[in-house]
Amino acid sequence: MKSSRSLFILIFTVASIFTIQTACAQDRAWHPEDTEFYEPVPPVVRAVPAFLTPPDDAVILFDGSDFSNWTSVRGGDVEWELENGVMTVNPGSGNIVTTEAFGSVQLYLEWRTPAEIIGDGQGRGNSGVFLQRRYEVQILDSYENETYVNGMAGSIYKQYVPYVNAAMPPGEWQSYNIIFEAPLFSENGNVEKPGFLTVFWNGVLVHHNAELEGPTRYIGLPEYSAHGDDGIMLQDHGDLVSFRNIWLRKLDESPVWGE
């Protein structure tokens, strides 16, 4: 009798510890640095970006003339600077997002970090391009600028490190050519198919079919929640990052894509 009681206490204790540990794993207080990695460091590749002219089936998002395809995420007009066909983040004015929502796309854009180096790490030329407002391909001045490698330019923020560092020096134009396969959700909200990203940075492949784990997050682990088509978003991270020549092609409209 005594031994069966001891056994019960033992089982109860083990079960309690397991339950508490599981609860702690779910509820743990995440800090940003918990999801930041410094190795392996991608090798440097000196690339010469070839800038692309949009093909005739492209949706032009920004050709340098105006912000007509964009709105502030805070509502209302974009308050970024527009000069000589180039848009530049107006620090503190907020992110901007396309007025139209998109699914799977080929997205092309050109970006430039400031010629004058101000700050370091994540504070040097930080912006970002978000697919469906949720999935960030990081923009940063990553030319001889150390930071966590899953947050450098070309990273899928805090999910994937770029294969190589194809950064141009500060003040020079760079390009992203991105193939985004939007995630699909079933009617009950479950992930039917995760999202995927392929990214060319200055013409160099840095991700091939990277499976998204969920929206890219600064703090904590990514986790999907169901959503539909959404806009392309550019980040105001407080730095004077510029953009030009932004266009995309809608892949969902191809009768062959997704077959």
Cα separation, 190 vs 201, whole angstroms:
32
Q: How far is the CB of 121 from Mg ion (least distance, A)?
A: 12
Cα separation, 41 vs 191, whole angstroms:
32
Q: How far is the CB of 52 from Mg ion (least distance, A)?
A: 23
- Nearest CA to 198 out of 127, 141, 251 is that of 251
Report the residue number, 102 or 111, with the smaller CB distance to Mg ion.
Answer: 111
Q: How far is the CB of 139 from Mg ion (least distance, A)?
A: 6
Report the residue number, 181 or 236, with the smaller CB distance to Mg ion.
Answer: 236
Helix (H, G, I), strand (E, B) or coil at 23: helix
Report the residue number, 105 or 140, with the smaller CB distance to Mg ion.
Answer: 140
Q: Which residues bind Mg ion (CB under 5 A)?
A: 126, 128, 235
Element (DSSP H or E) covering residue 9: helix 2-27
Cα separation, 107 vs 9, whole angstroms:
60
Report the residue number, 226 or 240, with the smaller CB distance to Mg ion.
Answer: 240
Q: Mention every residue, 6+ apart, whose C-beta is less than 8 A from residue 93.
A: 72, 78, 79, 80, 236
Report the residue number, 54 or 123, with the smaller CB distance to Mg ion.
Answer: 123
Q: How far is the CB of 245 from Mg ion (least distance, A)?
A: 20
Say if residue 215 is preceded by a cis peptide, omega within 30 of 0: no
Q: How far is the CB of 56 from Mg ion (least distance, A)?
A: 32
Cα separation, 110 vs 115, whole angstroms:
15
Report the residue number, 158 or 251, with the smaller CB distance to Mg ion.
Answer: 158
Q: How far is the CB of 138 from Mg ion (least distance, A)?
A: 5
